[in-house]
Amino acid sequence: MAEETLPGTTADDGPDSIVLHVDMDCFYAACERLREPELDGEPVVVGMGYEPGEGHGAVATASYEAREFGVESAQPISTALERLPRIESLDPDDDPAAAGHYRTVDLEFYKEVAADVKAILHDCADVVREVSIDEAYLDVTDRTGWDLAASGDRTLAQGFARYVKQRIAREVGVAASIGVAPNMSTAKIASDFDKPDGLVVVRPGEVRSFLAPIPVEEVHGVGPVTARKLGTLGIETAGDLAEADASVLEAEFGSRGRELHERARGYDDRTVTPTGRPKSLSRESAFTEPTDDIEDKREVIRALAADVADRANSRGAMYRTIGIKVVVPPFDINTRATSLSGPVDDPELVESVALDLLDDKFAETTVRKLGVRVSKLSFADADQSSLDGWESAGSGDDNPDDRVGDDGISDDRVGDDVSDEAGDDEPPNAGGGVRSHEGQSSLVEFD
């Protein structure tokens, strides 16, 4: 499997950081469409505390098609049903174009899809901060630059961000909006500027002019109460906030007032920092076409196992669980794992266990993607357990603890090693467009 060549890898010695804010579009609805492709283009509502056919619960997320009917996140399902009836409940004479598809939150499935996205992000950046199941910051300062590409019509950073977007779409099948800026707060605003499937780049020197016209409540740290108080001071936009007297803001809001003033002027000295040690390490690879060839599958498993074991060794990590992931078309996720009696660092064992798990259940199965994971990681300087005493936890049924690690989702994965050059389509206009809000209710956060 060949290494992918990342666009925009020219070294940049400039002082300005390059931060990407990656925000998945209608993520829960997008996940539902992965396993039900017939929902593509249809209004989809995903509910929390909702059971099929019932009217209680709340909207976790609504697809953009559903939002056209007035369905919004955190809205009661009963209200959503008034605006967008269930398609299964229609009378013969009703218009199916005015009805929607309702699904119950399936958090474990969403975590699996999020882990695939996260794997790509960790492969594309040295520093990643996961904020929630559908949102992350990347510091790619050392991976690309603000210089113009050879074409002269875009920056290298823009090409790099487009590459990240295309990998997520190609390898996972969901859309992401990305904001690119010299700091975290501006990158977050930019990612929301041209949804869905947007790419907005704010270059150094353009930050203040980009922020100036946006509503003040969009400034990072300004909530509804603060926005109302600012409104009484005649401050309605980020530009107004930037021009305001900092001493007046400080008198009204304390030290936070000066901080908000700085944010509105484009200053944000926070750095992208990762959140804790990983609880699992994994590697995945997708086939160009689904295959049932056992030798092809075994070859991929061997390569993935070697890479995962090497990554664990390089981090000084030992592991107590070895598992595989098998994705069957269209997107049926299967996982199997074996637990050991204690933590080990043994690349040969990772390969042999992974191959045994594959051969046991999936030797003749047609698959589109394979993965290998080690979890229950230990970073302590402890004696390694004897390999003679490892015990199988059984590989017949999925074990939630082994499937997604201690915290329910893998915390440090790398992307698929599939050679496929990114395209060079033109990005959305970074200086305009209609702003829209994603509005997805968060069900779980990455550690």
Domain with CATH 3.30.1490.100 in the chain: 280-414
Give the pLDDT of residue 24. 96
Q: Is it true that the peptide bond before 196 is cis, omega within 30 degrees of 0?
A: yes
Residue 181 tokens, joined: 């800026």
- Per mean pLDDT, which range of 18-22, 58-62, 94-98, 323-327 is the poorest? 94-98
Give the pLDDT of residue 292. 95
Domain with CATH 1.10.150.20 in the chain: 209-264
**CA 294/CA 292 separation, integer angstroms:** 6
Give the pLDDT of residue 276. 67
Query: Is residue 421 pLDDT above 50, yes or no?
Result: no
Give the pLDDT of residue 435. 36
Work out whether strand 412-414 and strand 280-291 pair parallel, antiparallel, or are unpaired: parallel
**CA 143/CA 123 separation, integer angstroms:** 11
Q: Which of 67, 106, 66 is nearest to 86 (CA)?
A: 66
Among the four given CATH numbers 3.40.50.880, 3.40.50.720, 3.40.190.10, 3.30.1490.100, the one describing domain 280-414: 3.30.1490.100
Marked catalytic residue, from 4, 32, 112, 135: 135
For domain 209-264, say whether CATH 3.10.20.740 is its number: no
Q: What is the pLDDT of residues 276-319, one digit of tens each?
A: 677 788 888 888 789 999 999 998 898 889 888 888 887 788 99
Give the pLDDT of residue 380. 56
CA atoms lying within 13 Å on the CB side of residue 401: 8
Active site residue 217: no
Q: Which of 439, 237, 185 is nearest to 227 (CA)?
A: 237
Give the pLDDT of residue 54. 79
Top pLDDT among 404 and 171 is at 171
What average pLDDT does range 252-263 have in this prediction? 89
**CA 60/CA 49 separation, integer angstroms:** 9
pLDDT, averaged across the chain: 81
